[in-house]
Structure 1
Amino acid sequence: MIAHHVLFWLKADTTAEQKEAFRASLQTLEGVEVVKNLHIGTPAPIERAVVDTTYTFSLIVFFDDLDAHNIYQEHPLHLAFLEDFRIYFEKVIIYDAQ
């Protein structure tokens, strides 16, 4: 099992409508046939020193194995998301775990 966790910090001038479109595009990634499970979230209202709540969106995608992850990376839905929405990224951090 591979967990692909992406944290997105969107630019400060991103509008509410752009954020809605961003989230909707993230949701399309569920259509990639190798995706086992997908969760899109925003920071939970948890105030602890060890919790980072500065990001805008969290995306967690689960795959059976590394081959599935690699297929996802080159899939047209993933590439379309990057093409259309990377202009909104201020910062992105990815954690991949097995």
Structure 2
Amino acid sequence: MPRLAHHVFFTLKDNSPSAVDNLLAECKEYLDNHDGLVDFSVGRRDPELNRPVNASFDVSLHVVFQDRATHDVYQTAPRHLEFIERNKESWASVMVCDSNLDD
């Protein structure tokens, strides 16, 4: 089975440095160390990379699961759901991009 990449791009209502820092910390606390997770990274948009093809967002989350099944379990995991509940009011928009990875 192919690994599954799950990329999430958050645009915040308040994109102050402290609000971005808060979401980064929340991602690290609630979204890392799930079963089946083989890679985790989260970061802020680089403002110097301001090109027409670079989408506007504040925080990007990139996780890779060992397969689709572990991704599906993650979607309903209590820590993932708690993250959403704790943070959803701060989001102006969220874009999710999932893909199967070729080895």
Q: TM-score range by the shorter chain?
A: 0.7 to 0.9
More strand by share: 2
Gaps of 5+ in 1: none
Partner residue in 2 for 1:67? 69
Is the 2:36–2:67 contact (alpha carbons within 8 Å) kept by the matching residues of 1?
A: no
Q: CA deviation at 1:16?
A: 4.1
Is the 2:24–2:43 contact (alpha carbons within 8 Å) kept by the matching residues of 1?
A: no
- Given the alignment of the two structures, is residue 92 of structure 1 paired with residue 94 of structure 2, yes or no? yes
If the length of structure 2 is used for normalisation, what is the TM-score? Answer: 0.83
SS for the counterpart of 2:11 is: strand
Partner Cα separation in structure 2 for residue 64 and residue 76 of structure 1: 19
| Residue type of the alignment partner of 1:94 | V
Aligned residues: 96
Which aligned pairs between 1:25-44 and structure 2 lie closer than 5 A?
Answer: 25-28=26-29, 29-44=31-46
Q: CA deviation at 1:84?
A: 0.4
Is the 2:7–2:63 contact (alpha carbons within 8 Å) kept by the matching residues of 1?
A: yes
Identity %: 28
Is the 2:4–2:99 contact (alpha carbons within 8 Å) kept by the matching residues of 1?
A: yes
Partner Cα separation in structure 1 for residue 70 and residue 38 of structure 2: 10
| Residue type of the alignment partner of 1:19 | V
Gaps of 5+ in 2: none
Partner residue in 1 for 2:8? 6
